[in-house]
Structure 1
Amino acid sequence: MSEQEESTRWAPIQRIILPSSDQPDTVSLYVDAGSASGIRLRENDEFARTPKLLEDKLQMSSSESREAHFEDLLSRHSMRIRSGEQMSFGTYFNAFPASYWRRWTSVRDVRLVVQTKGTGTVTVYKSNARGSVQRVDGKHVDGTATSIFELTLKPFGDGGWYWFDLAASSGDLVIENGQWEARDGSRPKGQVTLQITTMNKPDFCLNNARILAENRDVLDNVKEILIVDQGTLKVEQQEDFEAVRESLGGKLRVINQANLGGSGGFARGMYESVENGSDYVLLLDDDIVVEPESIVRLLTFADHCRKPTIVGGHMFDLYNRSVLHTFGEVVDPFRIVPALPHADMETRHDFSVANLRQTPWLHRRVDVDYNGWWMCLIPTSVIKEIGLSLPLFIKWDDAEYGLRAREAGFATVSLPGAAVWHVSWIDKDDLVGWQAYFHARNRLITTLIHSPYPKGGRVLRESVQADVKHLVSMQYFTEHGRIEALRDLFKGPEGLHKVLATKLPEINALKSEYPDAQLKDDVDDFPAPKIGRGPMGGTVVGMPSKKELIPWGIKTVARQLIKAPGPESSERPQGYLAHRDNRWFRVAHYDSVVVSNAEGTGASWYQRDPKKLKSMLAEATLLHAKLLREWDKLADQYRRAVPEISSFDAWKKTFEANAKDDA
């Protein structure tokens, strides 16, 4: 092949895929039945100006559209369209995210190749950043046919997708294969280490290993599949582990180490990927189900990026598989909290209700600060330059790394069409309990290192407010963790590695001292409340308005400090509260109440204690005042320490000190 021919050779960059046979509830993510146009919005559209009308139109469109027949899915790449029916591939997994390729790669032209058998039409569409739909091209097909469409990426500066629809005429039309291609030239393909961090979830790990073994074509450029096992239920001790390892052809390796949290597990994956010569590491959570094609898409996209780029996948809800948790994340710099990049974005978007063609905001390109480490591809060249994860155990490690990478000139892209199904935290409350320590400490560390605002913007104010909310809610174990976080912050960054394996056991050892930390399986395990003893006469209590909030807080804290709990409060609760009703402004009216947890697995007994409230509020206030005074000194200290505490040498010492014998 001549040099000119090599430079114009087309190679696949995204294959058309269909759901596996065990996932009928995900069909809407792959194919979309019905008309091609979806909803077209214009600047003067009545529906664009009136959100309620748009919502009604979406619901009407969804209810009237036909569904794809699951039995027509012939393989992972082939599907039958029945006579007289139309099927769109303008979906999450099969539309081509043209604006992302236009923005981050050197690709400027793509082509679509569709192989069909039967009689019908292939029609290509595109959208812009507003979600407006435009027909691009179309072909009539008959018999065995290969349709090729050459397409430009020039119009996709701010957003937009390409996709195609198939319509069958007098007989069935079968798509046998389809793919989006780019001029590949002699571009080398990077090698990746797939790394899973796990803590007592061996079933999830082995399930994903089986999925990979059943889709061996996605492993062509996978150097190694690495499981960092930090639990007591060992992956290697599972009955079918050896069979799974054998099915992966020697690519699976397990490292056993002490529980160093997510940051310790993922840092190990970063470290090992550099050591084994990989070009990338793909970090994966353990409690996921992976769409295997996503691995190829992330790797292919990263290979085509103009400079080293972190590329992440999205997260769908494992227990509601058509629901996308979020389309991209940024960090609000004034508050240092996760935020949405655009005001019109939704969280928890359900593609079975409104698919890509029917949802205008999905067509705007979303630029992010970081991607969650449920699925995140990081070039090893980036790791060599900026270091590994900070030793934070859990919480804020992924966001901090994305911010650090951005400051060093490395972007993060959350790539549509690449995703996992993950156990969603929508039904969890990780701001209470043992995780409160890590949330509070690591948010403050991230603020000290990255905040562009004096004294960290609004973070200290919100931290004080959180203390008050937890205390008036009788969440004393949670507040103990938050106070401990403030104390440890003043010890400086040098101690972060030392406490990585010990802090969680220390926190959990305190549970016996706090009734609110002691979980029982059933509310009947607690004494029954006496009828009529609940506060406010059973009236539902609403949240104070902004105007009333400060007077309400002063009055509530004063009452809880001065007024002794009712004489029966330690003997029996005043009532039960479901988790959804466990709001600080409501719980604050009780002296004693049983509250169920977010997961629905048990309940705890909250009991008001004025002495704990007084001592904890005083200490938290003093610590925040000290932090305000010493902010600039601490910020300089933590910023200067980042290269050292994220270094290969520092992590190597931690790994060696926390090594475990192989299972």
Structure 2
Amino acid sequence: MAARAPDAMTGAMADKSFGTTVQRLVRIDGDKPTGLGILADEADGVTLVRSGRRASFGSYFNAFPAAYWNRFTDATAVRLLVTVAGSGVLEVKVSDAEGVARTFARMPITDAQASVDLPLDSFDDGGMAWFDVVAGRDDVLVLDAEWRVLGLQSDVAAPSVGIAIATYNRPIACIVQLRAVAAQIADGAAVSRVVVVDQGEKRLEDAEGFAEVSAALGERLAVIQQENLGGSGGFTRGIMEILESDCDLILLLDDDAEPGPEAIHRAATFAGAATQPVIVGGGMLHLDRPATLYTQGELWMPARSWMTTASPDGYDVDLQRGVMDVPGMHRMVEADYTGWWFCLFPREVVSRVGLPLPLFLKFDDAEFGLRARAAGIPTIGLPGVAGWHEGWASKDPTRTWEGFFILRNQIITGLLHSHQRRGGVLPLRILLGDIQLLLRLQYAAVRLRHEAIRDTFRGPDNLPRSIRTAQATVRALQSTYPDGRVVVGDDLAASPTRSLAQPTGAFSKTAWLVSELGRHLLIEARSDSRRRAEDRIPLRESKWWRFRGLDSALVESPNAAGWTFAQRDRRRTLESLRKSICLTWRLSRDWPKLSREYREATVHLSSPASWQALLGIDEEAPR
């Protein structure tokens, strides 16, 4: 028998005027895996549960993060409303912090809307909630479902969101992002302003599709053109524009990301209901592996001045089979910061901690989040809130001009937030990183890292002075090295790629490294290696051990844009290693002094007045 649409509601508890809807049923369509939404068949915009089968809604986008709502809001309970056509059984499941599930409620449901209330105080240590539908002799259609929080002292439907997007020469990707935002607004997201700061030569307003998305967003949309000041300059300009409006919340979105279903609504209602200011971070799902969660939030490792995922499951978690396969999803996890592919916070955060620092790009998101954490503002990587973004596996930014900003801003963030004597192990790790790059014949990358340390020594006042010129300077410097220039490679045709096994075990790796370093320091390169590359090394294989015994190689450039001709140079290796040792020693020696200087300058550098001067904005001029 075919399932029918419901013709009645069951129970007084199904009154939709009671409670605040914070999460609705998500169905995944298009090119995204359906397992992120519903673990069952789907048909015609509804979920079909075939006779005798079970559909689980314990998926990433449909499980309810009960522990977070219990910890950070004053909600006392959550109400689940499920509407079906047909006859079956509704089972409400809950888990604890260890991911152990139990059935909270089980009831028959026939052509109706069922309602179940779950007290939130049972989720003190962690846990999630979800539901399953089991069909009887006939198929069941799950038409709708939503979660409504009860007992809030304030109206969380009111907070309005202002979105800031910084873009640089990616108009098509940015239009895709704007379409996704417009779709979420049409679906109920309370967005009142969208500010796009366009810093590129390829203008967003000239791109195909802009007129359409501009019409969809209407008066909410503002496009501001300014010179390229990197992500920090673009996002900060967007934040400042939103602060001139009456928006309650500010959301930062990368131009080449796409927010997940209901992401804006879920993040905004959670932030609006929180009993203290919180930063709500969205997880990053891989664009090329849409069911793989790169991270839901990240932690700062002070000794290394580097990041790691906040999830106990590690990076790159497969979500295809639902939350029960991801034990860490059930635990309460606070992050130190979240990436700006999706980062939402109340405007109060800016008044308490200031604006981002003028770092151009890289580590600006980490530094801002760590500054907020120091002010008592936590970052919450809320499960079920995420966006799709290109992953890092196909990139090697340490070999590009970005390597300068990565290392310089890593050091600056460490000086501000790591509180380690002499920088912890960071100076040593920088030296070891330089050695590995030298063994990969990447002299340009090492030179840019040297410049990054020197730029740190110039002090915090140099940051606003150099934000306009640093990129061009380091790109020009990189191009003076053979391994810093992309070549065609036809006249440098390499012999077939060698098959070389990676060393395993600490002793083997150390022996290889010492042997190779000795060869680089003591033995001159073969003269014919400069005329013809001895090997061709793809990007994915560009590891230090892959260059063993080579004096030259064609190395695939980052982003697969071409090839660089890497050539071993004994004199350059000696000089580069000497400078690496001197610079890292000085960094360790001067760490306390530099740390004081940067901390004392942060309040000014992150102030609206400093940014207004940097951007050339008249404080009194109308926006």
Task: Decide: shared fold, TM above 0.5.
Answer: yes
Amino acid aligned to 1:449:
L
What displacement does 1:491 show?
A: 0.7
Give unmatched runs, 5+ long, in structure 2: 1-14, 619-623
Q: 2:444 aligns with which of 468, 477, 499?
A: 477
Amino acid aligned to 2:597:
Q
Alignment partners' CA distance in 1, 2:573 and 2:273? 57
What displacement does 1:80 show?
A: 2.9
Amino acid aligned to 2:251:
L
Alpha carbons 2:88, 2:110 under 8 Å: kept = yes
Residue 585 of structure 2: aligned partner: 625
Residue 102 of structure 1: aligned partner: 70
Residue 11 of structure 1: aligned partner: 20
RMSD: 2.2
Structure 1 residues 220 and 322: CA distance shift in structure 2, 3 A: closer
Amino acid aligned to 2:244:
E
Amino acid aligned to 1:419:
A
Alignment partners' CA distance in 1, 2:90 and 2:326? 23
Alignment partners' CA distance in 2, 1:484 and 1:351? 41
Alignment partners' CA distance in 1, 2:346 and 2:409? 24
Give unmatched runs, 5+ long, in structure 1: 1-5, 34-67, 659-663
Amino acid aligned to 2:101:
V
Alignment partners' CA distance in 1, 2:68 and 2:460? 37
Alpha carbons 2:77, 2:120 under 8 Å: kept = yes
Alpha carbons 1:327, 1:366 under 8 Å: kept = no
Residue 56 of structure 1: aligned partner: none
What is the correspondence of 1:1-150 to structure 2 with a 5 Å cutoff?
9-20=18-29, 22-23=30-31, 25-33=32-40, 68-69=41-42, 72=43, 74-75=44-45, 78-143=46-111, 145-150=112-117
Alpha carbons 2:313, 2:326 under 8 Å: kept = no
What displacement does 1:219 show?
A: 5.3
What is the correspondence of 1:222-237 to structure 2 with a 5 Å cutoff?
222-237=191-206
Amino acid aligned to 1:179:
E
Amino acid aligned to 2:20:
A
What displacement does 1:320 show?
A: 1.5
What displacement does 1:599 show?
A: 3.0
Alpha carbons 1:110, 1:151 under 8 Å: kept = yes
Alignment partners' CA distance in 2, 1:648 and 1:302? 24
Which segment drifts farther, 325-334 or 130-139? 325-334
Amino acid aligned to 1:18:
R
Residue 324 of structure 1: aligned partner: 293
Q: 2:325 aligns with which of 358, 362, 377?
A: 358
Structure 1, residues 231-270: CA drift from partner, whole Å, max 9, x if none? 1111101133122211212211111111111111111122
Alpha carbons 1:391, 1:496 under 8 Å: kept = yes
Structure 1 residues 138 and 539: CA distance shift in structure 2, 3 A: closer
What displacement does 1:292 show?
A: 4.3
Structure 1, residues 551-583: CA drift from partner, whole Å, max 9, x if none? 655553343233211010110011112222211
Structure 1, residues 81-120: CA drift from partner, whole Å, max 9, x if none? 2333221111000010111112221212111111222211
What displacement does 1:519 show?
A: 1.8
What displacement does 1:185 show?
A: 5.3
What displacement does 1:527 show?
A: 1.7
Alignment partners' CA distance in 2, 1:553 and 1:16? 54
Residue 419 of structure 2: aligned partner: 452
Secondary structure at 1:335's aligned position in 2? coil
Residue 219 of structure 2: aligned partner: 250
Structure 1 residues 637 and 548: CA distance shift in structure 2, 3 A: farther
Q: Is the aligned partner of 1:216 residue 2:185?
A: yes
Structure 1 residues 624 and 220: CA distance shift in structure 2, 3 A: closer
Alpha carbons 1:9, 1:185 under 8 Å: kept = no
What displacement does 1:597 show?
A: 3.2
Amino acid aligned to 2:93:
Y
Amino acid aligned to 1:164:
F
Alignment partners' CA distance in 2, 1:111 and 1:290? 26
Secondary structure at 1:540's aligned position in 2? coil
Q: Is the aligned partner of 1:429 residue 2:396?
A: yes
Structure 1 residues 351 and 232: CA distance shift in structure 2, 3 A: same
What is the correspondence of 1:192-211 to structure 2 with a 5 Å cutoff?
192-211=161-180
What displacement does 1:448 show?
A: 0.7
Alignment partners' CA distance in 1, 2:135 and 2:331? 31
Residue 4 of structure 2: aligned partner: none
Q: Is the aligned partner of 1:394 residue 2:354?
A: no
Alignment partners' CA distance in 1, 2:189 and 2:514? 63
Alpha carbons 1:204, 1:289 under 8 Å: kept = no
Alignment partners' CA distance in 2, 1:492 and 1:441? 11
Secondary structure at 2:528's aligned position in 1? coil
Alignment partners' CA distance in 1, 2:495 and 2:410? 42
Alignment partners' CA distance in 2, 1:185 and 1:117? 35
Which segment drifts farther, 615-624 or 438-447? 615-624
Alignment partners' CA distance in 2, 1:633 and 1:505? 29
What displacement does 1:218 show?
A: 4.3
Percent of aligned pairs with the same amino acid: 35
What displacement does 1:588 show?
A: 4.6
What is the correspondence of 1:453-532 to structure 2 with a 5 Å cutoff?
453-520=420-487, 523=489, 525-529=490-494
Residue 654 of structure 1: aligned partner: 614
Alpha carbons 1:131, 1:160 under 8 Å: kept = yes
Q: 2:303 aligns with which of 324, 334, 351?
A: 334
Residue 62 of structure 1: aligned partner: none
Amino acid aligned to 2:615:
F
Q: 2:541 aligns with which of 559, 572, 581?
A: 581
Alignment partners' CA distance in 2, 1:518 and 1:580? 19
Q: 2:410 aligns with which of 424, 443, 450?
A: 443
Structure 1, residues 292-345: CA drift from partner, whole Å, max 9, x if none? 410000000001111000001011111121111123310112111111335x41
TM-score by length of 2: 0.92
Structure 1, residues 619-657: CA drift from partner, whole Å, max 9, x if none? 222222222221111110001111011111111112228
The number of residue pairs the alignment matches comes to: 601
Q: 1:569 aligns with which of 512, 518, 529?
A: 529
Structure 1 residues 357 and 553: CA distance shift in structure 2, 3 A: closer
What displacement does 1:548 show?
A: 6.3
Alpha carbons 1:269, 1:281 under 8 Å: kept = no
Alignment partners' CA distance in 1, 2:409 and 2:423? 13
Alpha carbons 2:313, 2:327 under 8 Å: kept = no
Alignment partners' CA distance in 2, 1:281 and 1:562? 57
Q: 2:155 aligns with which of 187, 206, 212?
A: 187
Alignment partners' CA distance in 1, 2:427 and 2:501? 28
Alignment partners' CA distance in 1, 2:23 and 2:119? 16
Which segment drifts farther, 208-217 or 102-111? 208-217
Amino acid aligned to 1:602:
G
Alpha carbons 2:295, 2:310 under 8 Å: kept = no
